[in-house]
């Protein structure tokens, strides 16, 4: 995908300095300003794209007591250029007239920004300096309250950082063409000031009129006390309206935790027409080589992997790969919502929306009808053409014809050759369309761990492949948001390779770590089973050999896909109630 050449606008100003309203005007002029915006809980739209925000914070540390640049100049330019490249691709998709972005720390990064946003050989980036009196900014900051009534962002250096941002911005703009946008005059004479901005950005009268109407309506709503920030309202074409209230809170908590995420190795920007695969790993050296091989064979173009402190060579393996971005998260896995919170935040804040992503584990391999001949690029084209944005799957445990403690995976052996058997029946699918907990979802139950160990049922549904929009999120490892995505067709399956000879050690480790759901209940059940019975064979009358995707289609676990863009729904028969 060639990077398109479009005009770019950077909005420069302090926190509480009026940059949000200017970026909102640019959005209504027809610029792409992002679509997943940071929720600052401050009563108005921020129009601060979370991907750009994350990159800015990689360039400049805004935390109290750390107010300083990060990395060297060239690295900061490279980081800011990532957003420019992504935004240009998105702008073409949205038929936007250009790109525009804001974050207060850009005031400290004007030279880097100028290089990063004009590096495609196009025209120089337009710079808009939002002028507002420093004392008014400081007063607005101190008066701002979060929904809980607490100060919006309490810190002891408010005056210093406001004055520093303004001083640094103004000195960087000396001798550089730019527009000074008068925030106070906007409030007095909106049509005049919006007209000046439109002329500078070379926007026509129709778009200017749309922006004026938006600003007038916004002021009227604020005057009536109407809240304008609810997180979901930032989304472009949300699929299912307002999400449960806990989602924006969870997203903010995850975003805050990602301040501590460390970048071990990150490759150049990934174009939007490439498929990304995200994993969370901890001591997966045994399974990773074959899982990487599998997803490469399906057409994955890049892996983005968060390691949670492996000490078995996992990180060294990943860093030796040509297509893996590698990160390190020091926080406890228990805080990640089963990994789904971390994977969702990584996608939104490090790669941006508007792309197809596979979220998987190192012991999981997604399959679908005829995947041996049709890769993920074929699949996403079919899904897109049929108006679908996800591939729901059932997790199918695979095992060998021996006891699992003697199921040794040889070097260079594929896991499906070591563990080729699966239960071809005994699984049950149930749709919960209007559950009491307000989370519509699909429940799959069955498989060897339930039949042999009486483990908790119903945790086998997953939605590994999705097209990520602003509102997309992995609610937990088994439920996608928007909830409609859990019910899409066609469907696929996930081959699950837990039952290898290292499992006894894994069980002991996970019980000791106690980072899994429900205090690692499944691992405790399995540990007791191993302690009383030793090696366990999972072979039963239900066992069948996996011989390709036709096996899971024939068993009713995945849909037949007509690759001419029609699909026939095949769902295992539900039990009678």
pLDDT at position 39, please? 79
Half-sphere exposure (Cβ direction) of 526: Cα atoms closer than 13 Å: 24
pTM: 0.90
In 3-state terms, what secondary structure has residue 288? helix
Query: What's the per-residue H, E or C state across 485-540?
Result: HHHCCCCEEEEECCCCCCHHHHHHHHHHHCCCHHHHHHHHHHHHHHHHHCCCECCC
The CA distance from 21 to 27, in Å, is 10
What radius of gyration do the chain's Cα atoms show? Answer: 26
Q: What is the residue range of 486's domain? A: 251-568
CB 80 within 8 A of CB 55: yes
pLDDT at position 565, please? 56
Give just the sign of the alpha carbon dihedral 288, 344, 250, 153: positive
Write down the H helix ranges in 347-464: 376-385, 415-418, 448-453
In 3-state terms, what secondary structure has residue 325? strand
Q: Which two tokens stand for residue 88?
A: 């240009």
Is the residue at 577 inside a domain? no
In 3-state terms, what secondary structure has residue 479? strand
Looking at the structure, do residues 15 and 54 belong to the same domain, yes or no? yes
Nearest CA among 109, 110, 92, 91 for reference residue 100: 91
CATH of residue 103 = 3.40.50.300
Is the residue at 574 inside a domain? no
Looking at the structure, do residues 75 and 200 belong to the same domain, yes or no? yes
Looking at the structure, do residues 344 and 412 belong to the same domain, yes or no? yes
Beta-carbon count within 10 A of 341 CB: 23
Looking at the structure, do residues 140 and 224 belong to the same domain, yes or no? yes
Q: Which pairs with CB-CB distance under 8 Å and at least 24 residues apart come from 380-388?
A: 380/275, 380/356, 380/465, 380/467, 382/561, 382/563, 382/565, 383/467, 384/467, 385/565, 386/565, 386/567, 388/488, 388/489, 388/490
Which uninterrupted H or E stretch holds 79?
Answer: helix 73-93
- Residue 463 phi/psi, 5-degree rounding, is -125, 80
pLDDT at position 150, please? 78
The CA distance from 404 to 537, in Å, is 6
Is the residue at 363 inside a domain? yes
In angstroms, what CA-CA distances link 537 with 266, 326, 543?
42, 36, 11
* Helical axes 190-200 vs 205-223, angle rounded to 10°: 140
DSSP 294: H
Give just the sign of the alpha carbon dihedral 252, 256, 262, 265: positive
Q: How many domains does the chain have?
A: 2
Looking at the structure, do residues 273 and 225 belong to the same domain, yes or no? no
Looking at the structure, do residues 209 and 257 belong to the same domain, yes or no? no
Strands 390-399 and 421-423: antiparallel
Looking at the structure, do residues 195 and 59 belong to the same domain, yes or no? yes
In 3-state terms, what secondary structure has residue 82? helix
Looking at the structure, do residues 198 and 270 belong to the same domain, yes or no? no
Is the residue at 240 inside a domain? no
Is the residue at 109 inside a domain? yes
Looking at the structure, do residues 411 and 449 belong to the same domain, yes or no? yes
The CA distance from 524 to 165, in Å, is 54
Which uninterrupted H or E stretch holds 551?
Answer: helix 549-554
Looking at the structure, do residues 131 and 261 belong to the same domain, yes or no? no
Give just the sign of the alpha carbon dihedral 98, 104, 107, 111: negative
pLDDT at position 246, please? 72
Is the residue at 505 inside a domain? yes
Task: Pick left, alpha or beta for residue 161 (phi over 0 → left; psi -120 to 50 → alpha; otherwise beta).
Answer: alpha
Angle at 9 between CA 67 and CA 144, to 5 degrees: 50
The CA distance from 330 to 312, in Å, is 16
Looking at the structure, do residues 279 and 181 belong to the same domain, yes or no? no
Is the residue at 387 inside a domain? yes
Is the residue at 467 inside a domain? yes
- pLDDT tens, the chain, 577 aa long: 454 568 899 999 999 999 999 999 999 999 999 989 987 766 566 899 999 999 999 999 999 999 999 999 999 999 999 999 999 999 999 999 999 999 999 999 999 999 999 845 567 899 999 999 999 999 989 988 776 777 888 899 999 999 999 999 999 999 999 999 999 999 999 999 999 999 999 999 999 999 999 999 888 776 654 444 333 233 333 344 455 567 877 888 898 899 899 999 999 999 999 999 999 999 999 999 999 999 999 999 999 999 999 999 999 999 999 999 999 999 999 999 999 999 999 999 999 999 999 999 999 999 999 999 999 999 999 999 999 999 999 999 999 999 988 999 998 999 999 999 999 999 999 999 999 888 999 999 999 988 887 776 778 999 999 999 999 999 999 999 999 999 999 999 999 999 999 998 998 888 888 888 777 888 888 888 888 888 889 999 999 999 999 999 999 999 999 998 544 433 333 333 2
The CA distance from 23 to 380, in Å, is 33
The CA distance from 214 to 322, in Å, is 47
Looking at the structure, do residues 50 and 107 belong to the same domain, yes or no? yes
pLDDT at position 128, please? 98
Torsion (CA) 328, 271, 273, 557 in degrees, nearest 10? 0
Residue that is last in its domain, among 235, 259, 283? 235
pLDDT at position 231, please? 31
């Amino acid at each position: 995908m060639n990077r398109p050449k479009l005009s770019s606008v950077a909005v420069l100003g302090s926190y509480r300095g009026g940059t949000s309203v200017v970026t909102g005007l640019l959005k209504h002029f027809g610029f792409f300003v992002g679509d997943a915006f940071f929720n600052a809980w401050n009563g108005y739209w921020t129009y601060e794209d979370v991907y750009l925000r994350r990159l800015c914070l990689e360039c400049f540390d805004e935390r109290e007591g750390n107010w300083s640049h990060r990395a060297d100049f060239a690295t900061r330019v490279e980081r800011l250029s990532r957003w420019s490249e992504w935004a240009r691709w998105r702008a073409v998709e949205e038929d936007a007239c250009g790109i525009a972005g804001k974050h207060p720390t850009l005031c400290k990064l004007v030279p880097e920004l100028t290089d990063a946003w004009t590096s495609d050989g196009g025209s120089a980036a337009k710079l808009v300096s939002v002028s507002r009196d420093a004392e008014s900014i400081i007063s607005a900051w101190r008066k701002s309250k979060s929904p809980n009534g607490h100060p919006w962002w309490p810190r002891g250096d408010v005056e210093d950082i406001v004055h520093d941002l303004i001083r640094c911005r103004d000195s960087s703009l000396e001798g550089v063409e730019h527009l000074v946008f008068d925030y106070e005059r906007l409030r007095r004479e909106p049509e005049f000031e919006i007209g000046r901005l439109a002329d500078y950005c070379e926007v026509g009268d129709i778009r200017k009129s749309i922006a004026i109407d938006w600003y007038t309506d916004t002021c009227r709503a604020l005057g009536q006390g109407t809240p304008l920030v609810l997180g979901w309202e930032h989304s472009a074409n949300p699929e299912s309206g307002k999400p449960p209230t806990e989602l924006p809170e969870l997203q903010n908590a995850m975003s805050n935790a990602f301040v501590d995420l460390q970048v071990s190795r990150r490759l150049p920007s990934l174009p939007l027409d490439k498929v990304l695969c995200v994993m969370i790993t901890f001591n997966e050296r045994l399974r990773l080589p074959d899982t990487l091989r599998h997803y490469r064979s399906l057409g994955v173009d890049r892996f983005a992997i968060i390691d949670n402190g492996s000490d078995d060579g996992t990180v060294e393996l990943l860093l030796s790969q040509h297509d893996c971005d590698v990160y390190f998260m020091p926080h406890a896995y228990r805080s990640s919502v089963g990994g789904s919170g971390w994977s969702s935040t990584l996608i939104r804040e490090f790669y941006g929306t508007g792309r197809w992503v596979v979220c998987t584990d190192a012991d999981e391999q997604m399959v679908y009808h005829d995947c041996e001949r049709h890769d993920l690029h074929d699949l996403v084209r079919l899904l897109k053409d049929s108006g679908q944005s996800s591939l729901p799957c059932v997790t199918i445990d695979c095992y060998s014809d021996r006891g699992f403690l003697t199921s040794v995976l040889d070097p260079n052996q594929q896991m499906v050759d070591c563990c080729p058997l699966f239960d071809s029946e005994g699984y049950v699918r149930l749709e919960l369309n209007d559950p009491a907990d307000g989370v519509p979802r699909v429940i799959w139950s069955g498989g060897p761990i339930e039949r042999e160990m009486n483990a908790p049922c119903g945790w086998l549904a997953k939605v590994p492949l999705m097209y990520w929009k602003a509102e997309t999120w992995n609610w937990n490892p088994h439920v996608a948001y928007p909830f409609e995505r859990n019910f899409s067709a066609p469907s696929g399956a996930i081959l699950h390779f837990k039952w290898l000879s290292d499992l006894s050690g894994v069980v002991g480790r996970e019980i000791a770590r106690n980072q899994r759901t429900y205090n690692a209940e499944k691992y405790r059940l399995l540990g007791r089973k191993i302690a009383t019975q030793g090696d366990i064979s999972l072979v039963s009358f239900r066992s069948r050999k996996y011989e390709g995707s036709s096996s899971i289609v024939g068993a009713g676990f995945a849909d037949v896909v007509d690759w001419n863009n029609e699909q026939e729904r095949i769902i295992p028969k539900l039990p009678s109630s």
